[in-house]
């Protein structure tokens, strides 16, 4: 291990390459795809706010800052990122502890902390940091080690620690998404099916206990999901109005700025969780499917990057980031259509929100670094670092 750091530095120096070569390897078509999604978000938020303020202008500025962050990260050697993975995980976990001790309370939950002008939601950042840490742990795991439960215990604790802290906020939706990101990286690393079966069995046993400890509003969301009309003016109001907006758009939509549910303020949280219903009402089925198609292309690029990457760290990281993006989209769309209980999950690059935009662009920056450095060489097993 004493020669690990010098060996890594020699690899970094040998393969650092030129800036122009790295810029050439950036998939600019993917960058344009992200810009198209952010533009859809700008149009939807312009409509939600009745003008560029208070949502659309901030959205554009945040995307611009995120774009610089993403392209800067794309040029950072992925091996350097791997070396910083544990520090990133420690930072994310520390922020989760800090938000429980000194976080801002809003809508019955303590999920945010103020860092200068930015109000940060650490649980969003933690999902990215967890994917980094698990990729660093599993990057040299052979088939024999994956079959050893003792080898899987530390990474299991890496998942359970942030999930527990997120559930304490409380934030059930993000906690479950964080756990599923961990499960996806475990699966991609080669965890056995019987190990997943044991984990699911344990979760099934714990489910009734967990339900008993849910907050009243969380239980109401589950009850409302099963029968929204049971409380049409209370817990069922959001999903009923969302379905009305979705259906009223028809094939082509009512037209830009012509949506009634949103502009007459029947639609709740129209700028964040329910932004997709704004798109569906004003641009109809065609606009909704076009938006979903762009999101599916972004998700597909994540997993294509994992498939094409030659080193395990990049593959596992891309799987974790792709799973995060997929769950963002799946949960949000399923939520606003009534397929799952309502939860606070935004639509990436489209919903209003600083933390969501920052962490989304951070994830895409790491993904592009994997893509740009997909052929680099990591240190051999005996000379690298853990």
Residue 322 pLDDT: 97
Is residue 383 very low, low, confident or very high in pLDDT (cuts 50, 70, 90)? very low
3-state class of 308 per DSSP? helix
Q: Report the domain count for the chain.
A: 1
Q: To the nearest whole number, what is the mean pLDDT of the chain?
A: 83
The stretch 203-224 carries a mean pLDDT of 62
pLDDT above 70: percentage of residues in the chain: 80
* Domain membership of residue 100 as a residue range: 20-228+304-372
- Identify whether 261 is part of a domain: no
Distance (Å, whole) CA 179 – CA 184: 9
**Predicted confidence (pLDDT) at residue 275 exceeds the cutoff of 80:** yes
Respond yes or no on whether the N-terminal peptide bond of residue 54 is cis (omega within 30° of 0). Answer: yes
**Predicted confidence (pLDDT) at residue 1 exceeds the cutoff of 50:** no
Encode pLDDT of 160-169 as tens digits.
999 999 988 8
Cβ–Cβ under 8 Å, residues 314 and 79: no
**Predicted confidence (pLDDT) at residue 217 exceeds the cutoff of 60:** no
- Identify whether 272 is part of a domain: no
Nearest Cα to Cα of residue 190 among 253, 267, 137, 259: 137
Is residue 344 very low, low, confident or very high in pLDDT (cuts 50, 70, 90)? confident
- Identify whether 76 is part of a domain: yes
Which of the residue ranges 7-16, 112-121, 371-380 would you say has the lowest mean pLDDT? 7-16
What angle, 0 to 180 degrees and rounded to 10, lies between the N-to-C axes of helices 275-308 and 354-372? 20
The stretch 322-331 carries a mean pLDDT of 95
**Predicted confidence (pLDDT) at residue 384 exceeds the cutoff of 50:** no
**Predicted confidence (pLDDT) at residue 377 exceeds the cutoff of 70:** yes
Residue 382 pLDDT: 41
- Identify whether 284 is part of a domain: no
Residue 147 pLDDT: 74
Residue 160 pLDDT: 92
Selected residue with higher pLDDT from 341 and 13: 341
Is residue 218 very low, low, confident or very high in pLDDT (cuts 50, 70, 90)? low
Residue 190 pLDDT: 84
Cβ–Cβ under 8 Å, residues 62 and 355: no
The residues, ordered by sequence, that sit 6+ positions from 130 with a Cβ below 8 Å of its Cβ are 89, 92, 158, 159, 162, 178, 181, 182, 320
Residue 138 pLDDT: 92
Is residue 385 very low, low, confident or very high in pLDDT (cuts 50, 70, 90)? very low
- Identify whether 349 is part of a domain: yes
Respond yes or no on whether the N-terminal peptide bond of residue 170 is cis (omega within 30° of 0). Answer: yes
Query: Tokens for 330?
Result: 């799946």
Distance (Å, whole) CA 278 – CA 263: 9
Encode pLDDT of 75-105 as tens digits.
999 999 999 999 999 999 999 999 888 766 6
Encode pLDDT of 34-64 as tens digits.
999 999 999 999 998 888 988 999 999 999 9
**Predicted confidence (pLDDT) at residue 130 exceeds the cutoff of 50:** yes
- Identify whether 140 is part of a domain: yes
**Predicted confidence (pLDDT) at residue 200 exceeds the cutoff of 90:** no
Residue 386 pLDDT: 35
Residue 211 pLDDT: 59
Distance (Å, whole) CA 220 – CA 282: 30
pLDDT above 90: percentage of residues in the chain: 48
- Identify whether 8 is part of a domain: no
Tell me the chain's radius of gyration from C-alpha atoms: 22
**Predicted confidence (pLDDT) at residue 222 exceeds the cutoff of 80:** no
Selected residue with higher pLDDT from 298 and 147: 298
- Identify whether 321 is part of a domain: yes
Residue 227 pLDDT: 53
Which of the residue ranges 117-126, 155-164, 233-242, 264-273 would you say has the lowest mean pLDDT? 233-242
What would the DSSP string read from start to end of 257-285? T--HHHHTT-STTTTTTTHHHHHHHHHHH
Residue 311 pLDDT: 92
**Predicted confidence (pLDDT) at residue 18 exceeds the cutoff of 90:** no
The stretch 305-311 carries a mean pLDDT of 94
């Amino acid at each position: 291990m004493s020669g690990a750091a010098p060996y890594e530095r020699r690899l970094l120096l040998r393969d650092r390459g030129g800036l122009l070569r790295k810029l050439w390897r950036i998939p600019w078509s993917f960058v344009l795809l992200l810009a198209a999604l952010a533009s859809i978000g700008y149009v939807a938020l312009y409509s939600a706010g009745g003008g560029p303020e208070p949502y659309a202008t901030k959205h554009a500025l945040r995307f611009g800052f995120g774009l610089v962050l993403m392209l800067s990260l794309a040029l950072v050697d992925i091996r350097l990122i791997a070396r910083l993975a544990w520090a990133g995980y420690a930072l994310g976990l520390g922020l989760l502890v800090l938000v429980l001790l000194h976080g801002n309370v809003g809508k019955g939950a303590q999920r945010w902390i103020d860092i200068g002008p930015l109000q940060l939601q650490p649980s969003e950042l933690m999902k990215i940091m967890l994917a980094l840490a698990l990729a660093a742990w599993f990057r040299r795991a052979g088939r024999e080690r994956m079959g050893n439960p003792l080898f899987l215990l530390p990474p299991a604790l890496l998942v359970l620690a942030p999930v527990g802290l997120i559930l304490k906020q409380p934030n059930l939706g993000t906690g479950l998404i964080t756990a599923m990101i961990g499960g996806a990286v475990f699966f991609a690393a080669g965890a056995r099916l019987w190990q997943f079966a044991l984990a699911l069995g344990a979760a099934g046993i714990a489910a009734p206990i967990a339900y008993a400890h849910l907050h009243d509003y969380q239980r109401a969301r589950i009850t409302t999901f099963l029968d929204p009309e049971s409380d049409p003016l209370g817990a069922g109001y959001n999903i009923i109005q969302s379905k009305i907006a979705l259906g009223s758009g028809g094939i082509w939509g009512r037209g830009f700025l012509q949506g009634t549910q949103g502009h007459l303020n029947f639609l709740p949280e129209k700028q964040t969780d329910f932004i997709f219903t704004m798109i569906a009402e004003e641009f109809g089925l065609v606009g909704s499917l076009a938006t979903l198609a762009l999101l599916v292309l972004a998700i597909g690029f994540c997993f294509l990057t994992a498939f094409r990457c030659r080193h395990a760290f990049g593959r596992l990281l891309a799987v974790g980031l792709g799973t995060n993006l997929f769950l963002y989209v799946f949960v949000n769309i399923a939520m606003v259509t009534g397929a799952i209980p309502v939860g606070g999950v935004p639509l990436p690059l489209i919903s209003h929100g600083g933390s969501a935009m920052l962490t989304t662009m951070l994830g895409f920056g790491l993904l592009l670094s994997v893509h740009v450095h997909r052929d680099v060489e990591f240190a051999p097993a005996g000379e690298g670092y853990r």
